[in-house]
Amino acid sequence: MINVAIIGTGAIAPSHIEAYKHFSEKCKVIAVCDLYPEKAKKALEHYNLGAEFVKDYKELLERPDIDLVSVCTPPYTHSQIAVDFLDAGKHVIVEKPMASSLEECDAMNEAAERSGKILSVIAQNRFRTPMMKLKNVLDTKLMGPILHTQVDSFWWRGHSYYDLWWRGTWEKEGGGCTLNHAVHHIDIFQWMNGMPSEITAVTSNTAHDNAEVEDISIAIGRYDDGALAQITSSVVHHGEEQQLIFQGKNARVSSPWKLKASKSRGNGFPEEDKDLEDKIQKVYDEQPDLEFEGHPGQILDVLTAIEENKQVLVDGRQGRRTLELITAIYQSATLKKPVALPLKTDSPFYTRDGILKNAPHFYEKTKTIENFSDNTITT
Ligand SMILES: NC(=O)c1ccc[n+]([C@@H]2O[C@H](COP(=O)([O-])OP(=O)(O)OC[C@H]3O[C@@H](n4cnc5c(N)ncnc54)[C@H](O)[C@@H]3O)[C@@H](O)[C@H]2O)c1
């Protein structure tokens, strides 16, 4: 039996608790921690957990009966909490974004290496049947080299979203929609298509004058072979129509799934390449559906890795790569210059202090509330 502690019992914690409860033959939540006892107690009662409550996570570090910890606290706390638990010999699942700076990601990966324990960064949207099928299709390389990728990470959040105490500040949220919303799509983008070698970006805040951070960013990634990618991150898009489109030399594929293949007529104009479309569609259809999607899918991946001593799909190296792209977007937009990847440790945005010193305040945070009365969210 894998014994679990949950640190932070706010909006995302139920996704973890429900997943652990679902795999009750493998694991059990035995402790929960939050700065607000009433929030933790509500979770304990609601889920009938029979787990212990502590206010300070440090009380759990020396507990030999805890094997795995889910870190569900705000971004600025992720690194220290994860490092402390890894050093205490616990496996760690940390919510996205991995941390609020690359320096913190490096500290987390070093701790995971030191302890030999698992560090997994939540990227639950990888664990969806259409995403796994798309990844499998891309891995066949049937589309030919990818020439253009379009990432539309379109979300919509109202003005009051940034009233929550830790949101909307560089210090505590670590960034705006590029870090906290597009992190999902940027993770999938780099997992499916690899890292570009250069980023050029512009950020802005168009509708949230109560937040220091951006509510929209547009970035262009350039690969060594000349291929381009455009990544739009937003919390001002009504309808939240999100997509990832990969335009290969021979065909295009995307999430939501759509497939088109063109071949050239004698005069260069396109005609449908039905044979290739059929071949790619067959690969897509033949891949079996996932049994568990989202948080349950990723948490099962970690539980299985612990039981069978295997690798997890989304480890700290993967989490860091996603943060590297996001950091490059912030650096390029702030300095108004393209940024070469990999980002060096002397980058002005590598450390948390560097980000706090350099990142633009679009506005100042004007209102702070401790908790929303309605704490339900969509992911
Ligand atoms: N995977 C997803 O789709 C998804 C969705 C929403 C949020 N998140 C992430 O989950 C994390 C938490 O977000 P949320 O929306 O649940 O926020 P929240 O504010 O609703 O919950 C965070 C909880 O952590 C507690 N907390 C803060 N510092 C703490 C500390 N040092 N020790 C113990 N408890 C502490 C707070 O009191 C709060 O109850 C963030 O990193 C966020 O980006 C992920």
Predicted confidence (pLDDT) per residue in 148-158, tens digit: 999 999 999 99
Which protein residue's CA is at the shortest distance from atom 7 of ligand 1?
Answer: 12
pLDDT at 219: 98
Which protein residue's CA is at the shortest distance from atom 27 of ligand 1?
Answer: 73
Number of Cβ atoms within 10 Å of the Cβ of 39? 18
Question: Has residue 370 got a pLDDT over 90?
Answer: no
Predicted confidence (pLDDT) per residue in 158-184, tens digit: 999 999 999 999 999 999 999 999 999
Question: Has residue 374 got a pLDDT over 90?
Answer: no
11 alpha carbon to ligand 1 midpoint, in Å? 6
- Which ligand 1 atom sits closest to the C-alpha of 40? 39
Residue in the block written with tokens 């205490």: 88
Average pLDDT over residues 21-31: 97
Is there a contact between 43 and 32 (Cβ–Cβ < 8 Å)?
A: yes
287 alpha carbon to ligand 1 midpoint, in Å? 34
Predicted confidence (pLDDT) per residue in 310-344, tens digit: 999 999 999 999 999 999 999 999 999 999 999 99
pLDDT at 371: 83
User: In Å, what is the CA distance from 271 to each residue of 149, 258, 281?
Assistant: 22, 17, 18
pLDDT at 248: 98
pLDDT at 135: 98
Residue 106: Cβ-neighbour burial (10 angstroms; 0-12, 13-18, 19+):
middle
Mean pLDDT of the chain, nearest integer = 97
Tokens of 285: 């259809």
Predicted confidence (pLDDT) per residue in 192-208, tens digit: 999 999 999 999 999 99
Mutate to test the pocket of ligand 1, among 44, 72, 240 (most ligand atoms within 8 A of CB): 72
Is there a contact between 68 and 306 (Cβ–Cβ < 8 Å)?
A: yes
Residues 6+ apart with CB under 8 A from 261: 250, 251, 252, 272, 273, 274, 276, 277, 280
Give phi and psi for 253, each to the nearest 5: -135, 160
Which protein residue's CA is at the shortest distance from atom 39 of ligand 1?
Answer: 10
What is the rounded end-to-end Cα distance, in angstroms, of the chain?
A: 29
CA dist 216 and 235 (Å) reads 7
Number of Cβ atoms within 10 Å of the Cβ of 109? 20
Question: Has residue 378 got a pLDDT over 80?
Answer: no
In the chain, the largest separation of any two C-alpha atoms, in whole Å, equals 73
Average pLDDT over residues 14-29: 97
pLDDT at 379: 75
- Please give the radius of gyration of the chain, using alpha carbons only, rounded to the nearest integer: 21
The residue type of 263 is: K
pLDDT at 9: 96
Q: Give me the numbers of helices (H) and strands (E) for the chain, helices first please.
A: 11, 15
Q: What is the DSSP letter of 191?
A: H
pLDDT at 119: 98
CA dist 2 and 25 (Å) reads 9
Question: Has residue 377 got a pLDDT over 80?
Answer: no
Cβ(297) – ligand 1 distance below 6 Å: no
pLDDT at 321: 98
Mutate to test the pocket of ligand 1, among 38, 41, 95, 374 (most ligand atoms within 8 A of CB): 95
Question: Has residue 376 got a pLDDT over 90?
Answer: no
- Which ligand 1 atom sits closest to the C-alpha of 379? 3
Give Cα 6 to chain centroid, integer Å: 19
Predicted confidence (pLDDT) per residue in 276-319, tens digit: 999 999 999 999 999 999 999 999 999 999 999 999 999 999 99
pLDDT at 356: 97
Question: Has residue 111 got a pLDDT over 90?
Answer: yes
pLDDT at 372: 84
The residue type of 88 is: A
pLDDT over 70 percentage in the chain: 100
